[in-house]
Structure 1
Amino acid sequence: MASGTVTSSEYISHHLTNLTFGLHPENGWGFAHGANAAETAQQAAEMGFWAINVDSMLWSVGLGLLFVWFFRKVAKSVTSGVPGGAQNFVESIIEFIDDSVKGIFHHKNPVIAPLALTIFVWIFLMNLMDLVPIDWVPYIAGQMGIGYFKIVPTTDVNITGGMAFSVFGLIVYYSIKQKGISGFLKELSFQPLPKVFAPFNLFLEIVGLLAKPVSLALRLFGNMYAGEMIFILIALLPFWAQWVLSVPWAIFHILVITLQAFIFMVLTIVYLAMAHDDH
């Protein structure tokens, strides 16, 4: 795909373009489909708020369902005797998450540990798609008449942003639940400076509060997008060079995708612990 009929820039643009469905001002409801990736992206942008990246949604929801199905299957077949490989694997993940939560979150809330487990495994699975050779699935999709098809949901800022702002909603919810609206507003207004500087404190705290979901979303998106870009650039090299570079980068990227899932999970626990703390 990287040689012959398309240029390097066209190849890169193609692999970074989502399959987008939405309401176009001129063409009505449908998929964005321009003569090239640039025109397709322009059509998607013109769709505005009602545009949806179908490929990102399919893969993220599908991987989430895979996570739920696998863990439920293992939970239903759990045994007190000698555990099998699947049970050992799931129990080790749960124990790791449980230890992480206990070390950070020192309050009673039955939601936090399951939330942390869901975040870690779900993001890891979405990140793991970055290790699938970048031409395989787009080629199959192309044979089915689908021009664009990205398979790494976390390289879509809409996915990472959606998860981050969901965490932000929980931060605000538990802050108000634990401290009340007045307590939450006092926390925003009366620190870190004395009460006389309440407007300045409020400005600083609101900026800090809003920075939490933004940093969560952009950190995950930026790291995964950069990783995907490197795989795309490697794919433009001669065949022998691809193997020399892609295998070491893929091995290193296993650490990256795991670390990014862990960071998102840990920061979520930290932010929710802060929401429960009463200053």
Structure 2
Amino acid sequence: MEHVQSTHDYIEHHLTFLTVGEGWSAINLDSMIMVWLLGLTFIIGFRYAVSKGTSGVPSRFQCLVELVFEFVEGLVKEIFQAQDKIIGPLALTIFVWVFLMNAIDLIPIDFIPAFTRAIGVPHFRDLPSADVNVAMSMALGVFILVLGYSFKYKGIIGFFKELTTQPFSHPLLYPVNLLLELITLISKPISLGLRLFGNMYAGEMIFLLIALMPWWMQWALSVPWALFHILVVVLQAFVFMVLTIVYMGMAVEEHH
């Protein structure tokens, strides 16, 4: 554990972002740096696998990339019934990118902050998916795509008709339908982002609490929790990807 004055200081230090600006214009630089760094890691890694790919005996990394690609491709074909060239790459990007962001939580809690402090950076929170701004901005991006695909496949009139004519078909109940459907529509990105944020924030807090314990208890608790947290890391990336595909599929689906 880092040398700090108290337990409160230790937790506050790890939960403080490297921020520039104030209010709505504030930017968490540490989250942005990690998001871009992990995004580049994804692009370079998969690009390397493609450039070094062979039809003969593949390398272990090529096998891993092909396994992930085929897994995502199978899910997209099963869930998204329409033909579209964007959904597959979108789903693959979301799954790998969110997984890489979540996997940062498996690095020892003091490792990256201690390194950044050694080079003169006072605060650096290294888990971007535990930043509500990152999680909600990704969910907002999915929401914008859902609206765009709804307008593309159904038109503005068709989309508005869908919101007003379901689940009740009587014209007097159209305002009720609109209210219910708008609540459902808006709740999708909120639940999508908060689910990712909440799970990763809780996992980060547990690691912090374990780090505050005596050294002889840390190994006994951190190793089992880290092994369990691997499941959380993968599952949250999987859930975010699957819900994105489902929402996109609902956007292009015709309701009768």
How does the TM-score come out when normalised to structure 1? Answer: 0.89
Superposition map of 1:156-171 within 5 A: 156-171=131-146
Paired residues in the alignment total 254
Specify the code of the residue in structure 2 equivalent to 1:255.
Answer: L
Q: Is the 8 A contact 2:210 2:221 kept in 1?
A: yes
Q: Does 1:213 align with 2:212?
A: no
Which of residues 111, 120, 137 in structure 2 aligns to 1:145?
120
Cα distance in 2, alignment partners of residues 204 and 19 from structure 1: 40
Moved over 2 A (4+): none
Q: Does 1:264 align with 2:240?
A: yes
Specify the code of the residue in structure 2 equivalent to 1:157.
Answer: V
Specify the code of the residue in structure 1 equivalent to 2:242.
Answer: V
**Structure 1 segments unaligned to the other structure (5+ residues):** 23-46
Indicate the structure whose relative CO is greater, using CA pairs within 8 Å and at least 6 residues apart: 2
Cα distance in 1, alignment partners of residues 162 and 245 from structure 2: 19
Q: Does 1:79 align with 2:54?
A: yes
Q: Is the 8 A contact 1:98 1:113 kept in 2?
A: yes
Paired position in structure 2 for 1:233: 209
Cα distance in 1, alignment partners of residues 95 and 69 from structure 2: 10
Higher mean alpha-carbon deviation, 96-105 vs 255-264, is at: 96-105
State the 1:112 CA deviation.
Answer: 0.6
Specify the code of the residue in structure 1 equivalent to 2:155.
Answer: G
Q: Deviations over 1:52-76 (max 9, x none)?
A: 0000000011000100011011111
Specify the code of the residue in structure 1 equivalent to 2:218.
Answer: Q
Cα distance in 2, alignment partners of residues 89 and 159 from structure 1: 27
Q: Is the 8 A contact 1:124 1:261 kept in 2?
A: yes
Q: Is the 8 A contact 2:18 2:30 kept in 1?
A: yes
Paired position in structure 2 for 1:44: none
Cα distance in 1, alignment partners of residues 236 and 102 from structure 2: 8
State the 1:82 CA deviation.
Answer: 1.2
Q: Does 1:119 align with 2:94?
A: yes
Q: Is the 8 A contact 1:56 1:152 kept in 2?
A: yes
Q: Does 1:175 align with 2:150?
A: yes
Q: Deviations over 1:232-273 (max 9, x none)?
A: 000000001000000000000000000000000000000000
Higher mean alpha-carbon deviation, 138-147 vs 124-133, is at: 138-147
Cα distance in 1, alignment partners of residues 113 and 58 from structure 2: 39
State the 1:2 CA deviation.
Answer: 5.3
State the 1:225 CA deviation.
Answer: 0.1
Paired position in structure 1 for 2:18: 19
Q: Is the 8 A contact 1:21 1:54 kept in 2?
A: yes
Q: Deviations over 1:174-198 (max 9, x none)?
A: 0000000000000011111123211
Q: Is the 8 A contact 1:21 1:51 kept in 2?
A: yes
Paired position in structure 2 for 1:244: 220
Q: Percent identical across equivalent pairs?
A: 55
Cα distance in 2, alignment partners of residues 159 and 229 from structure 1: 18
The alignment yields a C-alpha RMSD, in angstroms, of 0.9
Question: 2:20 aligns to what SS in structure 1?
Answer: strand
